Amino acid sequence: MGDQGVQESESPLPPLGFISIDIILHRPPGDPFNDKTWPFPLIREKADNSSEMQVISSKPYDDAFIDRFVDAGERLVKRGAVGIITSCGFLAMAQQALAARLPIPVATSALVQIPSVLALLSASSTVGILTYDDARLGLAHLEALGIPPSRCRIRGVPAGGSLQSHIQYGDAYVHDEISAELVRMARNLIAENKEIAALCLECTQMPPFAEAIQDAIGLPVYDVHTMGCWFYSGLVSTRQRRWGPILEDRSETRT
């Protein structure tokens, strides 16, 4: 699910579409909103009236809420997007509705990777999920993506901690403080659930910390960045320069 090679075409690459929610944050490279996160073009449209409290929900979204995301998605389609991602992992609950109503592929959440990750692991293994809010992320989000809840272990960041305080109240974004917080929660989750064999970061603000988390726990780590690069690699297939020209079939070239 890496990003190797997706920029190797000589022709301009079509853009990936991004539906943002109605919130202003510090968004360093790694955040999917930031152009520098991606090795391909990104275009954005905002879903109007989509606050953090509306999106981060344990209850199904109403029709009017879904309509606003469809409207944003349709604007992206008109601008040439080949696929669409979103700015919050909780939008897993909107995956089926948005996929049904938009004419191009949609990947709403880093969590869409979990069925594939589970297929790579033993039947006795589970996937850990590090989320913005474990009081609200649960069965509805997993079931919307066909994820068996019994194979997941969910852990949220501390209530009122550095990450939540930045997103909820606009407190200063202090990278080292958030990193320490996420590493601590990931370590605790793994220590308490020895069968976890991979970790998925639900929150779209977490990719800048994926490397530190992986260094701390020594397991595969997936997030919205790994999801977006995998997603785009299928939407836009490009021949790798390092493959070189197609050689004529000769006996000496066969292996």
| CB proximity list for 29: less than 8 A, separation 6 or greater | 36, 37, 208
The pLDDT of 200-223, averaged and rounded, is 97
What does pTM read for this prediction?
0.91
Other CB atoms within 10 Å distance of the CB of residue 111:
30
The pLDDT of 228-244, averaged and rounded, is 93
Query: Is 216 in a helix, a strand, or coil?
Result: helix
Task: Please count the residues of the chain.
Answer: 255
Q: In the Cβ-directed half-sphere of 163, how many Cα atoms lie within 13 Å?
A: 23
Closest CA to 38 of 242, 178, 204: 204
Residue 247 per-residue DSSP state: P
State residue 28 phi and psi, 5-degree precision.
Answer: -75, 170
Phi-psi region of 244 (alpha: psi -120 to 50; beta: other; left: phi over 0): left
Is the separation of the CB atoms in 35 and 225 below 8 Å? no
The pLDDT of 90-112, averaged and rounded, is 97
Which pLDDT score is estimated for 11? 62
111-166 residue pLDDT tens: 999 999 999 999 999 999 999 999 999 999 999 999 999 999 999 999 889 999 99
Is the separation of the CB atoms in 45 and 20 below 8 Å? yes
Helices (H) and strands (E) in the chain, counts: 9, 8
- Model confidence at 231: pLDDT above 90: yes
- Mean residue pLDDT across the chain: 92
